[in-house]
Amino acid sequence: MEIVWLGHSCFRLRGRQTTIVTDPCPPSTGYSIGRTTAQIVTVSHHHEDHDYTAGVSGSPRVLDAPGEYDIDGVFLTAIPTYHDGRKGAVRGPNLVFLIEMEGLTLCHLGDLGHLPTPEQVELLSGADVLFVPVGGHTTLDGAMAAEVVNLLEPKLVVPMHYRTPACQLSLDPLDRFLKEMDVEAAEPQKRLSITAGSLPESTQVVVLDYER
C-alpha cells in the first residue's frame, strides 16, 4: 500500500485495486489535492476543510455516517466520536474511520477533540497505522495526541492537521508533538509504502511531506 499526504487531514491510500481519499481539503486551506481519483472518500465531519468531495474524481462512494461498510474488498468502520471535549457541544460530532485493507488496519482519527473512552480504546487499539491530528486549537494538541498514541499503541504514527508553510489555518507546528513523542528529528518522506510484513515491532513516527 502507498500512502501520500495531500495536506491537512487528507491522505491518498492506494492499494492494488482500490484507492481511498480521507477528508479532502479545499484550496482555501493552502493545500491543493490536485487531480485526485478514488473509489472511496471518507469524511470525518462536515466542516469545509474536511469535506471537499467535489475535488475527488472517479464518482467515489462518500462515507460520512457511522456504520460498517464493505466496498471493493475494503472493510471500513466509522465510529462516532466528538470534535471537542464537551461531547460535541462546541464543534459537533466527528467520525473515526478504521480501514482494513490488504492485510493492514489503518485508523484515521479525523478531528478528534478528546481522549478516547475505554470502549473506544478497545475498538481502536493496535492499528498498524494511526493518522492523528496534532495541531491543537480545534482538535488534539501535541500533548493530547501523544497520550492518544500511548493509549492505542499503533505500529506507525502519521501526524496530520498541523501548521506548515503551506497551511492557511491557525494551528500549532509539528515540533510540539515530536517533542512529546521524544522524536529529536524526523526527515519528511514523500510517500510511505508498507506491507503487513514491513511493519516495525514498536511504535514509530513517520512524517510525510505534503505532495504539491
Tell me if 27 sits within 8 A of 8, measured CB to CB. no
Please report the pLDDT score of residue 86 as a whole number. Answer: 92
18 alpha carbon, distance to own chain's centre: 18
pLDDT digits (tens, 9 = 90+) for 39-92: 999 999 999 999 999 999 999 999 999 999 999 999 999 999 999 999 899 999
List, in sequence order, every beta strand (DSSP E) within 56-203.
56-57, 61-63, 67-71, 74-82, 93-101, 104-108, 129-133, 156-160, 192-193
The verdict on pTM exceeding 0.85 is: yes
Give the Cα separation of 94 and 116 in Å (integer).
Answer: 12
- Where are the chain's structural domains? 2-205
pLDDT digits (tens, 9 = 90+) for 89-117: 999 999 999 999 999 999 999 999 999 99
DSSP state of 161: S
Give the Cα separation of 60 and 185 in Å (integer).
Answer: 37
Reported CATH class of domain 2-205: alpha beta
